[in-house]
Structure 1
Amino acid sequence: MARALFSFLLLLVVQCVLAQPDTTDNSLVAYHQKYALGNRSTSFLKQYIRKLDSLDQPVDQQLLDEYVGTLQVRDLDNFETVSFLLQQGPILQSKTYRLIYMNQTIVDSIYHKLPLDERKKINGKIIKNTTQKAIQEKDINLAYNLSSFMYNAWLKSNPFLADIEQDRVMVEYLEQVADTTQYFRRAVNYYDRVYLYSTPDSMLKMNLAAHDNKPYRQPLDSAMQARWEHIPEARKRQYDTLFAKSLHRAAASFIKLGAKGPYIYNSLHWIQAAIKWRNDVPEYYHTYATILASLQLLQEAISKEEQAIKLADRQQQDTSRYRRQLQALREALQKKKIFVADVTNLADSNE
C-alpha cells in the first residue's frame, strides 16, 4: 500500500515537472523572466534580442532602445554592431534609428556591402514595424516619414516607382485609420495613376528594372528588350492578376467605407478595369453588382450578380452571399424600393 502511494506521488511530481515551462538559461521563458526581474546588462539584452530573432519573434522597439542605451558612442562606429541593429528593423525616428544614422558613413557602407536580399530584408522589417506603429498610434507624421523613406529608397533607380511607393504608404495608412476624407482623395489619385493609366506589362518591366537596380526607360534598351522577350507568359499574366486584385480591393474599400457622390463612380471605374484584366473571378462581379445597386441601377446589378453566381457555380465555389443579394435586389426592383446593400459581405480580395 505504501509502495503504491509512493509511486503515485512520484508520478504526480514527474508530471508537474514536465508541465512546467522550460526555464533553462537558453529558453525564451528564461529570458522573459530575467528581463522582468530587471536585467538590463548589454550582453543579456543582446542575447535576448538574438533569441527573439532566431525564433522569428518580433523584437519590441523598447527592448532595442534599451540595448542601444547601454552602448558606448564608439560602439556605433562598429560595422557588426550597426549591422545587427539594422537587421532588427528599428522603427523610423526611434532612439535606435536616430543613433544609427548619426554615422551615415557606416550605414552607407553596410548597405553597400550586404547582399541585395539582406538589404531588402532590413528595409522590409523597418517598413513593417514602422507601419504597425503608425497605424496603432494613428501617427500621421510617422506615416509621412515612412513615405519619405520609401521615396528615397527607390529614387535613384526608379523615380516613377519612388512616387508610387510614397503614395501607396499614405493611402494604406489613411485607409487603415479610416480617415475617409483624406483617404478618398489620395486613393483616387493613386489608383487612377498607377492602375488605370498604366498596364500590367509596363509595371512588370518597371519592376524588372528595379530588381536589376537599373533606371526604367522607354523604349527598352536592347538588353532589357531581350530579357523581356524571354519572360514566360504565365509570369506576365500574374501581373494581370495583381492589377485586378488591387483595383477590386480599392473599389470594395470605397464602398465599405461609405463613399458618396463622385467617389462611387471611381469605384465603378476600378471594378470595370479589374474585370478587364481578370473576367473569371466571381467576387469581382458581386462587387460590381453592389456598386451598381448603391447607384440604384438594380436591373444592371441583378445581371452582374447572376454572372457572379454562374461563375462561382462553374468553379464550385460557395454562392450563398451572392444568392442572398440577388434575392434582395429582385425584391427591391419588384417593390420599387430603395436598395441598401450589405457592404459587410464584400471581400477585400478574391482569395
Structure 2
Amino acid sequence: MNVLINLTNMKQILLVIALTISFKSLAQITFVDPNTSWEELSKTAKKGKKLIFIQLESSECEHCNEVASQGFNGAVLKDVFQKNFVAIRTRVETENGRKLAEKLHIKGALVALYTDPDGNVLTRYNGSTSQPEAYLEQAQVALSRRNGKQLTDFEKEYQNGEKSAAFLKAFIQKRREINMPTHDLLDEYVGKLPVDSISNFHVIKFIYQQGPTMDSRAYKLVQALAPHGMVDSLYKSVSPAEKVAFNNGIIGNTLRKAVETKNSQLAHQAGYYTQQTYHENYQLGMLQYRRNVLWYYQQVKDTASYFGECRQFIEQNYMLMTVDSLKRMDEAALQKSLAAQTPFGPAGEKQAVRFAPPSQQFHHELNDHAWRYYLWNNQPRDLERALMWSKRSMEWHEELRKDKNHLPLGNPAYMDTYAHLLYKLGRKNEAIEWQTKAVEAQKVSGMSWVSMEKDLNEMKSGTLKR
C-alpha cells in the first residue's frame, strides 16, 4: 500500500485551504490575556465549570497565525466557546507559552489544545485552518469527553504500580485518543503478555494500530515471533485506509523517534520501509525513501547533509522531469483511482472520489526546498540553484493546474519564495517586482497578505533580514 509522508511546510499548506479573509472583523472567540498562567486559567475554568482552549502559536509562521485568526472569526464558534471554554492564544516563544507547552507536554506549535481544568488534554487540532467548523468539531469532541476516566487518572494509577496488561492497553488507548505517543507503554504492554500471545491475530492488529517504531520491542517481537504470513494476513483483512494507517503510523513514529534521538540509521530504516510499500513501482519507492531522509535532515537541522542530499535529489529527479511526463503521471493515477472505485447504487454508478494529482507534490517540494535554501544557505551558487528550482515550481504550477479560476494571478507563495531568493542574491529591484506580484496574487486569492506586504516594505527600505 502506497504511503506518503508529508514534507510540505506550513507555508505551503495555506495554499490548499479555501479562505475568505476579513481582517477588520473582531474574533468571535474571546481570548484572555496571552500571559495568563495555567493556574489562573484552571481557577477561572473551575469556577465557571468550563473547559480550557489553548492556541499555541509560533512567530516562525505568521501566515499560519493569520489563517487561525480567520477560523476564530467564525460566528458559529461564539456561543459554544463563550459558554464552555476559557480561551487563550499565546506563542511558544514567550515565557507563558513555554510554560503552558511544558505543562501539557507539547513540543512545538502550531496546535490547538482542548483541556479540562486539571490539565487533561481532551483533544487537539494540529496546524491551523480558516474553517471555524474544524475548531467547533474538536470543541464538541472535548465536551463529549469531559466526564469519565481521564489521562491523569491513568497516570496516577500507573505511578501507584498498576501495570497489568489490561490496564496498559486501556492507558494506550486513552493516549492514542488524544494523539499522544504510546510507544513506551506499548513496549511495556507487550512485555506483560505471554510469549504465545504474539501468535494471536488480534494482539498483532492492536500493536500495528499503534504504529510501533521499528526499533521498538513490540515491533521486533512481531517480526521475530509472529507466525509466517500472519502480518500479510492482517494487511489483507483490513480496508485500504487501515493499511495506509498501519504504514503511516510505523513510518511516521519511527521518523519522529529518529529525530528525537538524532538517529540517522533509524531514519534510513523508516525510509527503506517506505520504499518497500511501493513494491509495484521501484522508482517511486526510491523517491519516497529519499524524501523521508531529507525530512529527517531538515528536522535535526543537519544542514550540511541536507544541502548535499537535496541538491542530488532534485537534480537527479525533478530537474529531469518535463510537464508532459508529469501530466502522464497524473493521468495514470487518475485512471487507477477510477478503476478502484466500487459500484454504487442500483444502476451500478461509481462512487465519487476526491483525486489529488500526484504532480502537485513535485512543485510543492521544489518550492519548499527553495525556501529552505533561502533560510539556511548563504552561498551564492546554492542560492542561484534554488532560484532555478523556484522558477520551475511556478512554471509547473501554471502548466499543470486545470482550474485557472483558483489563484488566477499565480501561486503567491511560490512568487514570495522567488522574490526572497532574488533579494538575498542582491537583486533588489527584481525582488521588489516579484514580491509586489506575490502580494497582489495573495489579495486576489482571498488569503492574508499582511506578512507578504510587510516583507515587501522591508525589501523597499532595505531592512529585510537576509
Alignment gaps of 5+ in structure 2: 1-45, 51-116, 119-144, 341-349, 399-409
Of 418, 422, 427, which aligns to 1:292?
A: 422
Q: In structure 1, what is the equivalent of residue 240 of structure 2? A: 116
Q: In structure 1, what is the equivalent of residue 368 of structure 2? A: 249
- Per the TM alignment, residue 98 of structure 1 is displaced from its structure 2 partner at its CA by 0.4
Of 281, 293, 314, which aligns to 1:158?
A: 281
- Per the TM alignment, residue 270 of structure 1 is displaced from its structure 2 partner at its CA by 1.3
SS in 1 for 2:210: coil
Change (3 A) 1:319 1:64: closer
Distance in 1, matches of 2:236 and 2:305, equals 38
Change (3 A) 1:23 1:70: farther
Mapped contact 1:158–1:210 kept (Cα < 8 A): no
Q: In structure 2, what is the equivalent of residue 275 of structure 1? A: 394
Mapped contact 2:212–2:219 kept (Cα < 8 A): yes
- Per the TM alignment, residue 305 of structure 1 is displaced from its structure 2 partner at its CA by 2.2
Mapped contact 2:175–2:182 kept (Cα < 8 A): no
Mapped contact 1:150–1:165 kept (Cα < 8 A): yes
1:63 aligns with 2:189: no
1:73 aligns with 2:195: yes
Alignment gaps of 5+ in structure 1: 1-14, 215-229, 333-339, 344-351
Change (3 A) 1:322 1:39: closer
Q: In structure 1, what is the equivalent of residue 206 of structure 2? A: 84
Q: State the Cα deviation string for residues 288-325 of structure 1 (Å, max 9, x = none).
A: 12211222222322321232233234445554444444
Of 141, 164, 189, which aligns to 1:41?
A: 164
- Per the TM alignment, residue 85 of structure 1 is displaced from its structure 2 partner at its CA by 0.8
Aligned positions of 1:10-25 closer than 5 A:
none
SS in 2 for 1:278: helix
Mapped contact 1:157–1:213 kept (Cα < 8 A): no
Distance in 2, matches of 1:194 and 1:205, equals 19
SS in 2 for 1:127: helix
Mapped contact 1:251–1:270 kept (Cα < 8 A): yes
- Per the TM alignment, residue 82 of structure 1 is displaced from its structure 2 partner at its CA by 1.0
Change (3 A) 1:327 1:92: same
Between stretches 55-64 and 250-259, larger displacement belongs to: 55-64
Distance in 2, matches of 1:122 and 1:106, equals 15
Distance in 2, matches of 1:210 and 1:144, equals 30
Mapped contact 2:211–2:246 kept (Cα < 8 A): yes
Q: In structure 1, what is the equivalent of residue 406 of structure 2? A: none
Distance in 2, matches of 1:213 and 1:95, equals 40
Mapped contact 2:330–2:359 kept (Cα < 8 A): no
Q: In structure 2, what is the equivalent of residue 201 of structure 1? A: 327
Mapped contact 2:213–2:219 kept (Cα < 8 A): yes
Q: State the Cα deviation string for residues 16-42 of structure 1 (Å, max 9, x = none).
A: 9x8996999854443222112111112
Q: In structure 2, what is the equivalent of residue 148 of structure 1? A: 272
1:134 aligns with 2:258: yes
- Per the TM alignment, residue 81 of structure 1 is displaced from its structure 2 partner at its CA by 0.9
CA RMSD of aligned residues (A): 3.3
SS in 1 for 2:301: coil
Distance in 2, matches of 1:166 and 1:213, equals 27
Q: State the Cα deviation string for residues 220-240 of structure 1 (Å, max 9, x = none).
A: xxxxxxxxxx9x9x957x556
Of 288, 302, 313, which aligns to 1:190?
A: 313
Change (3 A) 1:87 1:342: same
Between stretches 204-213 and 287-296, larger displacement belongs to: 204-213
- Per the TM alignment, residue 211 of structure 1 is displaced from its structure 2 partner at its CA by 6.6
Aligned positions of 1:308-347 closer than 5 A:
308-315=438-445, 317-331=447-461, 341-343=464-466
- Per the TM alignment, residue 174 of structure 1 is displaced from its structure 2 partner at its CA by 0.4
Change (3 A) 1:320 1:75: closer
Mapped contact 1:25–1:31 kept (Cα < 8 A): no
- Per the TM alignment, residue 148 of structure 1 is displaced from its structure 2 partner at its CA by 1.1
Mapped contact 1:88–1:125 kept (Cα < 8 A): yes
Q: In structure 1, what is the equivalent of residue 432 of structure 2? A: 302
Q: State the Cα deviation string for residues 260-284 of structure 1 (Å, max 9, x = none).
A: 1432122111110121133512232
TM-score calculated relative to the size of structure 2: 0.57
Counterpart residue type for residue 312 of structure 1: Q
Mapped contact 1:294–1:341 kept (Cα < 8 A): no
Counterpart residue type for residue 101 of structure 1: Q
Q: In structure 1, what is the equivalent of residue 67 of structure 2? A: none
SS in 1 for 2:277: helix
Q: State the Cα deviation string for residues 97-123 of structure 1 (Å, max 9, x = none).
A: 100101353222212332222111111
Distance in 2, matches of 1:49 and 1:263, equals 46
1:50 aligns with 2:177: no
Q: Which has the higher helix share?
A: 1
Mapped contact 2:213–2:253 kept (Cα < 8 A): yes
SS in 2 for 1:342: coil
- Per the TM alignment, residue 213 of structure 1 is displaced from its structure 2 partner at its CA by 11
Distance in 2, matches of 1:288 and 1:144, equals 31
Counterpart residue type for residue 269 of structure 1: M
- Per the TM alignment, residue 161 of structure 1 is displaced from its structure 2 partner at its CA by 1.0
Mapped contact 1:157–1:210 kept (Cα < 8 A): no
Distance in 1, matches of 2:369 and 2:363, equals 10
Change (3 A) 1:314 1:59: closer
